[in-house]
Structure 1
């Protein structure tokens, strides 16, 4: 595969017991439970060995995997979401500081991550209940290699394996000490990364022990230090630019009162501002774009984190045919996300969905210059103000700090015995895993205390201090701030208990070889919980609302696999094998399901392998998807009903005005969206969800000529695979921008019913509860080429390349009549961030001679377009690395530069990241690193 030097047809190990095989024996291949010749595997598997991982210079396994052309990216430490867009619409929470892998653009929840062929506990970051493994919880130095099965295999591995399987193989044997230290930094002098690893192995006559520890510290890259992120939109130089984007919660405040939209001329400290309704005198003037707040420089491009962990892997031979294996893994992560100062919105058009929308500001508040501002609550006078918006700079920037502990313990027995002339293999394993996460958020506002501090001064007694939200930045005193703010503390936890037993071997001989089989049983228990701060759970938070959630499920599953060799070494059939598998699973919440797969591998001649397979799959609703409580995401999308220049409403495209009026927009055209392009989307779990199902068709071939290996090459191969995956009953929310468009342009009743507006037309929320939306369809072609010379007088050379040609990616949603299909091929979507380039490819040229080595890796991403047609140009990254080994290769020195051409990511207007897509492109800037490694 490009970027990595490992062969695309390489031996795989699907579980820890399978690593112990005698020389010459067939072994377990990822994608099958039957031991076989790894050159005849019927599924496309990419292997990243230790050298390939080190070649990237990256300190996160997720960052490495996300560079695969077949990967769509996924959550990583470039994503800084906590206080910016709220909870993503998948029930799993923000996942701040964690990282995962998304194959085939189907979402990380549809890629199964295994460790030594066994499940690993899902991660959490105290913001929800994710359904994915946090790859940052697995210490990098315990990894021997990573095998990526780029095809769905639910019949063999169970739920979640719709897009593929990532199998992380850990070190089961090592001799002596291995250690490394790496320091890296961006050319701009930020983003310093320290990466230290050490492991030690003891090989006895019957005992193997490997243990180690790792430490990684990644410092921040701030948006204020990159040109692309100085303003909310690319190329923007001022908040007065017509493109907009700056926040309507400014430093001097915005006061929509008595039909006027006002701001202060300057901060008013220590006194009540003077209000002159004519604006000829006094402290207030008309609110304009010049008063808006530029929040963009106050975020992270790369989030800071600190991780340390350790592992121990023990193998004890109890007899010549029975082994005991024990593995323990622990990791700790401290990470941080940051956003600009809290935008405090109160009033009937604020759109918080809680007490803040109903606050009446009493005339007796000593800082209120307007008289009583009524929110129009029952029994009160009609509303005479829309909103008061204030950037709470006195509380400092919003800072979210995660503290996460993860522990996994695996124990098992494995062995073999003879049945007739055949050897059978068995194993039984148990996995117990825990994840515990805490998050603290500084600078949140207690709505109940704020209401009391703004209400009748006679009720503001005890610790209450009347608060001044009318004076602009600096007018809120420390004692006022202490009363209305609090530190929000959230917690989440995940638990896994997984028990498996497997039996495999050969049943009998056919002329073409033995008939192989595998059978097994799995019992799994998973539990997840999310406990927000009690003040937040009571609906009194000024930030993203959250409610407690808890859920669990069990599953009992059995599977069987059969491999039948049909022909061997006959004309046009050097070999022909058939393979089939079936799995029956019973889930405590979603019932029973049966999946199956069938495949064939055909070698017409020795050097050509052709294969094809068809598989059905399923994915049970995850805990967060079923039990996740309603929360809000702030989607950076525009309301087509806003009456501004260039809008569909202003241009009256079709029947937009009539549809918008029917949806609650004032017919007089007075409505203009004020929130800077962010609309509240209500997300949440759904206990009525049905399991997802999938169908996967795959066929391809590998050409690996013997004549080349006998001559000039030590390795030469070309692999091409076509895939077609359809997911039915896909669990997702209807895209909020699609909901708005369908309501405005076609008056779709289902879409319009999902939109709630205030009396003035402002959107207070868009309902996007998780549901079985319809289907997702993706298809494409993977190409992998590998070439390596034999040793010459000037060294050895290698050239590897891999690419993905995406041919289709579409999502189908229900409408009032029938379904609506949206094609994302060649586009980028801003919420959530994801790009769908028609082609992505990597290529690596490497050279080695004696103690020297060098490599150049190129990474290409094809151009994509935003929804409005704006083009994000194609992008090419170049990485270089030079190494030198000395003292009989015990000591190694490595220096490298990633993004050596200093390529910036393409600027994006609709992306939720700081004007680019962090799931697809690199942080701007050259990153250099130096590594020292030692082997004893």
Structure 2
């Protein structure tokens, strides 16, 4: 399964890396505008490898300064970037993502405890994350080999600023930069020391967050040193502590609870029963005649009366018997992050500098889910033959039914929730290591200066996840079977699942293991770059940059041996391992076309990169740009770029795994009793008997990698203007005013993903087309027994929209200085289409699969400073969304039951911060703030998989968050 390419250069680079040499390339060059700079120069510039190229405003850039970071009151890079108006739904610590989330189709694992970034709603794996211009290693989630970057591996305290390039940039940076680039610039120069201490918690007194940052640096004539130590401790919030999250779907009680209950649900037939009587299910002409019963609450040794299933200690299973798993979940997952970072720079000569950087970071996080259910029988649909094909012996001393319960003949389903074993707890330990070194230099050719650098870097992300509270299905089957076979195995005792509180500690010791999964990713990198001015033409200086880059990716995922053997009762998976390398060459040119010497200029930029991958071959990606400075105050700009994303190790080599999707089977009676919605004739043709009931809303879906995947290819276009009017400055209205408008468009072809599982199921029932039905099989009961949903180069994603930003600095008065920033994004199109033309459910203004594409997001910030005081007010707005109610159409929270849709109202958050600076030592800053000042709760989400919230779009949990922070420089 591994793709390999070896050559002399590869071995030389690897040897250098093993020797500990590494260093980041300088991918972004930008000169800060001075006090005397023209109005237009105040707009941030990046997105080019050409040093000192005068192409300001060529591409849309969003710069988050250190002041912006401090204003948020947040301690995670991911949480901060996810608040940008151009960001989409991405994983964060508000996702309690282990347990039934299972393994997503991309082979990346669940990413528990990580924080990711999505730009333009194209997915986190299509955003390239750089640190000081160097690629950062992708996450190791301990459940797969991911394609996304975990921003929780980068301490916030070491960040000087963040530059977000919201444009296609594969020609400049290579694979993954389809939606854009996030370049995190670290702190470099500090004379003396700095200590920052902060604490925050929610208004209910929970979710405490403590952060301590220590920094020290010194600068001499020829060297600089910076050291930083950071620690963040974010505490948990339970779903039981918020009213909205105490039930699976808010307002519906137990209607959407689980049929895996502490007393057990038993659906089976008695071969001795006559046709037409309860307990008989010999043919399809007598649907629903099987027993569907559960023991009375509190009964530990239930007595069963086959002549009266509602007599004895059993009764007919109903909604009131379902299990409420929600209180066991977490709204905010605990996370401890400790990072140490350092960099040293030394000027060997006036034209040559050497530097070295290193980082070590440890994340310890936890997810929690309800006690793991044990589902047995053909209707369980787990995909594990040990549970789907189980036989429970009549000789089991606890079996109250007096007959064998055999999956091949009379058993339909058993659902037992062993709360005796406690909740499932998933603990992650994630270690990140980074080492880089290199040389930077300049030389002159005639009167022209040239810049060069060579760089080596090595980074590794390694994760281990330990799972407490899961079960060994092999041992469960043995303990439920023939007692003689159980007695022959050391430690085995017969298992009692027939009643409440019946599983003893001795039974648990045999069936409840500790499960450990591990994964790792490594990135080795070498680059060399050259930049300078070539010659003068009629309009100015032609500048260029060129370079070479080599990267090697290695990754593996090793689930617990119990899982590999197929004995794990939870979500199964198999090991994954793979590696590949890439050699790249790039060139970039800045060509002035016109300059009248009076502030009017026209510049052309050209860039191209050739990438040679060991997995699929070569790829060339070009980019073209025009920058027209109409006047000193106005710049028009446009870019066109082609891009690609190479399939990741998980996508290429990921083995079979499973995730549990929240699906509504259109052929079955809903869990709430609602009638089937699918074509009756087609359902019959699929083998679904009339009256068949969907036992659980969660259906297991099997996924896996595909070594034949091709790269994703994209076309990106952006155009807009930057306007900095001088008349407002002359009139005293503003000290500075910048207006930016950008139109963007991304067309992605061959997107690597699986068809939406609900869409595939609906199309199968509607069309009977083998393209959709081929991977879906059903049990004799009508329920889905297996669902294959594999990765492919699916189809296309097309999106476009507008950004409108205003940055206004007012003249300073006796009342102080005010700054206003208003940033907006409107999404005007979002279409995702499968390879066969099937429209995916994700679109503008719709909530689906725990994510959303709002048509308008807006951030409005007012900053105020006066002498030692400072304050800010931030307003964050998310427009209205709609979702399908599904089975919840009867819910009082469903705004339009007739249409089957629910509205998530527009949501606006207000944040306030106040600070004061004392002249003590080199300065003491005290800050206090509150996020969500007006106590706005996130809108209820009926379709979301856990807790009734969309954790990637809204502030979770609801309620005010108060914080204080002290920052001392010495």
Q: CA deviation at 1:210?
A: 0.2
Q: 1:748 to 1:200 in 2, by over 3 A?
A: same
1-structure distance, mates of 2:860, 2:430: 36
Higher mean displacement: 351-360 or 892-901: 351-360
Deviation readout 1:778-813 (Å, 9 max, x if unpaired): 100011100011221110011111011000111111
Q: CA deviation at 1:17?
A: 9.1
Q: CA deviation at 1:273?
A: 4.2
Contact 2:126 2:179 in 1 (8 A): yes
In structure 2, which of residues 286, 289, 296 is the aligned counterpart of residue 265 of structure 1? 296
Contact 1:141 1:214 in 2 (8 A): yes
Deviation readout 1:479-529 (Å, 9 max, x if unpaired): 001001101100001101011110000001123221000001000001111
Q: Aligned to 2:760, what secondary structure does the other structure show?
A: helix
Q: Aligned to 1:821, what secondary structure does the other structure show?
A: coil
1-structure distance, mates of 2:291, 2:259: 15
2-structure distance, mates of 1:457, 1:510: 91
Partner of 1:794: 815
In structure 2, which of residues 241, 248, 257 is the aligned counterpart of residue 246 of structure 1? 257
Contact 1:193 1:219 in 2 (8 A): yes
Pair 1:931-2:951 in alignment = no
2-structure distance, mates of 1:110, 1:167: 14
Higher mean displacement: 681-690 or 58-67: 681-690
Q: Aligned to 2:509, what secondary structure does the other structure show?
A: helix
In structure 2, which of residues 440, 446, 471 is the aligned counterpart of residue 445 of structure 1? 471
Pair 1:307-2:337 in alignment = yes
Deviation readout 1:104-158 (Å, 9 max, x if unpaired): 0000000000001111111112011111111011111111100000001000000
1-structure distance, mates of 2:158, 2:303: 63
Q: CA deviation at 1:569?
A: 3.1
Partner of 1:661: 684
Partner of 1:680: 700
Contact 2:847 2:881 in 1 (8 A): no
Q: CA deviation at 1:663?
A: 2.1
Q: 1:609 to 1:149 in 2, by over 3 A?
A: same
Partner of 2:888: none
2-structure distance, mates of 1:476, 1:390: 11
More strand by share: 1
Partner of 2:879: 862
Partner of 1:158: 174
In structure 2, which of residues 814, 819, 824 is the aligned counterpart of residue 803 of structure 1? 824
Contact 1:400 1:441 in 2 (8 A): yes
TM-score by length of 2: 0.90
In structure 1, which of residues 868, 883, 895 is the aligned counterpart of residue 915 of structure 2? 883
1-structure distance, mates of 2:44, 2:915: 34
1-structure distance, mates of 2:100, 2:676: 29
Deviation readout 1:553-588 (Å, 9 max, x if unpaired): 1000000001101111367x7111000001000000
Contact 2:168 2:180 in 1 (8 A): yes
Q: Aligned to 1:445, what secondary structure does the other structure show?
A: coil
Q: After superposition, where does 1:146-295 map in structure 2 within 5 Å?
A: 146-236=162-252, 238-239=253-254, 244-258=255-269, 259-269=290-300, 271=301, 273-279=303-309, 281-295=311-325
Contact 1:449 1:464 in 2 (8 A): no
Q: Aligned to 1:297, what secondary structure does the other structure show?
A: helix
1-structure distance, mates of 2:225, 2:27: 14
Partner of 2:846: 828
Q: Aligned to 1:159, what secondary structure does the other structure show?
A: coil
In structure 1, which of residues 117, 141, 152 is the aligned counterpart of residue 157 of structure 2? 141
Q: After superposition, where does 1:836-851 map in structure 2 within 5 Å?
A: 836-851=853-868
Q: After superposition, where does 1:523-922 map in structure 2 within 5 Å?
A: 523-569=550-596, 574-644=600-670, 650=676, 656-666=679-689, 669-675=690-696, 677-710=697-730, 711-815=732-836, 819-822=837-840, 824-831=842-849, 833-867=850-884, 868-887=900-919, 890-922=923-955
TM-score by length of 1: 0.94
2-structure distance, mates of 1:473, 1:424: 78
Contact 1:627 1:685 in 2 (8 A): yes
1-structure distance, mates of 2:297, 2:342: 62
Contact 1:28 1:35 in 2 (8 A): no
1-structure distance, mates of 2:785, 2:463: 31
Q: 1:821 to 1:352 in 2, by over 3 A?
A: closer
Q: 1:277 to 1:586 in 2, by over 3 A?
A: farther
Pair 1:95-2:111 in alignment = yes
Count of residues in Structure 1 that have an aligned counterpart in Structure 2: 902
Partner of 1:10: none
Higher mean displacement: 743-752 or 168-177: 743-752
Deviation readout 1:857-895 (Å, 9 max, x if unpaired): 000000011134211110000000001111167001100
Q: CA deviation at 1:645?
A: 9.4
2-structure distance, mates of 1:120, 1:338: 29
1-structure distance, mates of 2:342, 2:816: 38
Partner of 1:499: 526
In structure 2, which of residues 411, 423, 440 is the aligned counterpart of residue 414 of structure 1? 440
Partner of 1:8: none
1-structure distance, mates of 2:722, 2:529: 30
2-structure distance, mates of 1:827, 1:658: 34
Contact 1:426 1:501 in 2 (8 A): yes
- Root mean square deviation, CA, Å: 2.1
Partner of 1:379: none
Q: CA deviation at 1:650?
A: 3.8
Q: Aligned to 2:901, what secondary structure does the other structure show?
A: coil
Q: Aligned to 1:552, what secondary structure does the other structure show?
A: strand
1-structure distance, mates of 2:227, 2:28: 18
1-structure distance, mates of 2:528, 2:415: 60
2-structure distance, mates of 1:877, 1:469: 51
Contact 2:383 2:700 in 1 (8 A): no
2-structure distance, mates of 1:475, 1:487: 21
Unaligned runs of 5+ in 1: 1-12, 377-381
Contact 2:295 2:302 in 1 (8 A): no
Q: CA deviation at 1:16?
A: 7.7
In structure 2, which of residues 395, 398, 416 is the aligned counterpart of residue 364 of structure 1? 395
2-structure distance, mates of 1:699, 1:547: 46
Partner of 1:52: 68
Contact 2:671 2:695 in 1 (8 A): no
1-structure distance, mates of 2:557, 2:355: 33
